Amino acid sequence: FQKHEFFVDMTCEGCSNAVTRVLHRLGGESFDIDLPNKKVYIDSEHNVDTLLETLKKTGKNASYLGEKSAQ
């Protein structure tokens, strides 16, 4: 899978919980949420557009930052 890095304008636990909820609904995702830095890292077979649309369902401002190389 590619590991993608997104900016999501999260300000609290509730925001990160919303991100968790929409990603679980999408299914098959492995992800990390970095709340202090407002970043979400997603390992996924879905394309970037699908992931971005999914993140925007939270009602938060979201943008794609690029691929992360898998460690």
61 pLDDT tier (thresholds 50, 70, 90): very high
68 pLDDT tier (thresholds 50, 70, 90): confident
pTM: 0.90
Domain positions in the chain are 1-66
DSSP 12-59: SHHHHHHHHHHHHHH-S-EEEEETTTTEEEEEESS-HHHHHHHHHTTT
**Domain 1-66 part of CATH 3.30.70.100:** yes
